[in-house]
Amino acid sequence: MAGTASPEFGGSGRAGRPSVGVLALQGDIAEHVRALESAGAAASAVRRAEELDRVYGLVIPGGESTTIWKLIDIFELAEPLRKRIADGMPVFGSCAGMIMLADRLPDPASGQQTLGGIDMTVRRNAFGRQVDSFEEDLDIAGVEGGPFRAVFIRAPWVEDVGPGVEILATEPGAGRIVAVRQGRALATSFHPELTRDWRIHELFVEMVRDGA
């Protein structure tokens, strides 16, 4: 990147661990940091553009997508984030993070925008309100070791995808798309950070290693 230093593996002082940031504006920040560390990354909080410049990959956590967008705007992160994503930085969004990575929203809140990066249409809160939260076993393409116990909380779903998007999982009950990948961008409707199963974070850490 012109004008910035390239991030390095082991930037936290732990050799061989790729530096991965968690967008630390709102949502499940500590949970993703814990999961990334357990999956073999050197995780750090990202709140400013200069912190974004120090990481190889980024997680956009679950939370409130409208609040996350407002804070992205306040912290002047929209363009730096969009540029890094467009330039191929590995990125993973869970729940609200999936909404932020969508190219299209059919039902945005007033003034809400996304960062884009995945050719998909995502409907916010599609599975219902907080009281409609549930867990489901999913078979996820590229994740070995049997079904993944997925936690859905006010979860979105993917209504359609472009030809370059790989569908990784569908929710058995509704048959809706809940996990996708396009190149170096990964997104899930559910919250893998709220489990002790690190396989999806391990998949993302490998994506970061491959993209470095």
Could you tell me the mean pLDDT of each successive run of 10 residues in the chain, 212 residues long?
39 68 95 97 97 97 93 96 97 97 92 95 86 88 96 95 97 94 97 96 96 67
Q: What is the pLDDT of residue 12?
A: 39
- Number of Cβ within a 10 Å radius of residue 64: 16
Q: Is 135 a catalytic residue?
A: no
Of 31, 32, 191, 201, which is the active-site residue? 191
Q: What is the pLDDT of residue 10?
A: 40
CA distance 191 to 61: 9
What structural domains and CATH numbers belong to the chain? 19-211 (3.40.50.880)
Query: Helices 29-38 & 199-211, crossing angle to 10 degrees?
Result: 70
Q: Is 95 a catalytic residue?
A: yes
Of 31, 32, 171, 193, which is the active-site residue? 193
Of 31, 95, 171, 201, which is the active-site residue? 95
Q: What is the pLDDT of residue 195?
A: 93
Which structure tokens are listed for 121? 């249409």
Q: What is the pLDDT of residue 6?
A: 40
Q: Is 76 a catalytic residue?
A: no
